[in-house]
Amino acid sequence: DTAVSQTPKYLVTQMGNDKSIKCEQNLGHDTMYWYKQDSKKFLKIMFSYNNKELIINETVPNRFSPKSPDKAHLNLHINSLELGDSAVYFCASSQDLQQGASKTQYFGPGTRLLVL
């Protein structure tokens, strides 16, 4: 039973298109994240939502817009895709820290985006 799942696993698209990546967690966590792993393999945080509220918003082009319909889902919508957006995008989740729980973040399998 997958804890953090992402769809699609692979996404190949043309420059200029708009696409969405979906993420769902069944761990009952309150906080979700999006990370980008670039061609140099660095993993960098993009966004974080806690109970559907944005708490981290790194320096990311505003073509990227996260959407959290409920605390189990955090989707990533990307407008006007560019070649440089090609990367692996990872979703993650963690427990609500107010509950005194672990700070560990659990990751999904990744979505490999290729912009042509």
Partner 1 sequence: DQQVKQNSPSLSVQEGRISILNCDYTNSMFDYFLWYKKYPAEGPTFLISISSIKDKNEDGRFTVFLNKSAKHLSLHIVPSQPGDSAVYFCAALLNDYKLSFGAGTTVTVRA
* Binding interface with partner 1 (CB under 8 A): 4, 31, 33, 40-45, 48, 50, 55-56, 90, 92, 94, 97, 102-110
First-last CA distance in the chain: 34
Q: Which of 61, 55, 9, 57 is nearest to 30 (CA)?
A: 55
Least distance (Å) between residue 103 CB and partner 1: 5
For partner 1, the closer of residues 15 and 55 by Cβ is 55
Radius of gyration of the chain (CA): 14
* Shorter beta-carbon distance to partner 1: residue 15 or 43: 43
Q: Are 36 and 28 in contact (CB under 8 A)?
A: no
In the complex, least distance from residue 79 CB atom to partner 1, rounded to whole angstroms: 25
Least distance CB 87 / partner 1 (angstroms): 14
Q: Which lies closer to partner 1 via its Cβ, residue 4 or residue 81?
A: 4
Asked if residue 50 lies in contact with residue 56, where contact means CB atoms within 8 angstroms, the answer is: no
